[in-house]
Amino acid sequence: MPMTREEVQKHQQVALNYLNKAGIVLTESEKAQIEVADFGLGEFDQTGLALIVYHNDEKYCAKELILTPHQTCPEHKHPPIPHLNYEGKQETFRCRWGIVYLYVEGATATNPHAQPPANRRHTYHVWHEIVLKPGEQYTIPPQTWHWFQSGAEGAVVSEFSTRSVDEADLFTDPEIRRIPDIVE
């Protein structure tokens, strides 16, 4: 289900409020470029995030990721793209505000803090938990399945990575479309 332009603008404003809480200032141009990703599921409050890309070229990328309370970025990985000489994205998440629960490949957490949306839980397979509080960071190697969810207050996360080719991401949920569909 596509989002309307009005819905996108509402979610952009919410994202700006979270960035303000984190003390992150955007230019007017950047404010207009906040992407609202609902992954084509039409359930943005459960599965989605807002993001602003500061820079993305063949060498590196810098972004802010904004999640509302208990919002989930679904399980995915960044595959290699041989014709671009791309080995997959390595990314470092640094929590700026709130708490983020990051799940990657590895030993399963006994009592994970986060729970994916109930109607999609069957599409989540990695449960090694990393808890990031403000000032803490974790680097995800290329081609690693991962997903993340904010805590009760929401979260703002800075991402520093190699080149980002989001449209090539692989998701464990076959219903997901990474690039948003927006109707005017």
- The pLDDT of residue 181 is 67
Per residue in 23-32, pLDDT (tens digit) is 999 999 999 9
Predicted model pTM: 0.95
* Nearest-angstrom CA–CA distance, 17 and 153: 12
With bands split at pLDDT 50, 70 and 90, how would you rate the model's confidence at 36? very high
Per residue in 9-24, pLDDT (tens digit) is 999 999 999 999 999 9
List, in order of start, the domains of the chain with CATH numbers.
3-183 (2.60.120.10)
Kindly report the number of other CB atoms within 10 A of residue 158's CB atom. Answer: 17
State the burial class of residue 168 (Cβ atoms within 10 Å of its Cβ: 0-12, 13-18, 19+).
middle
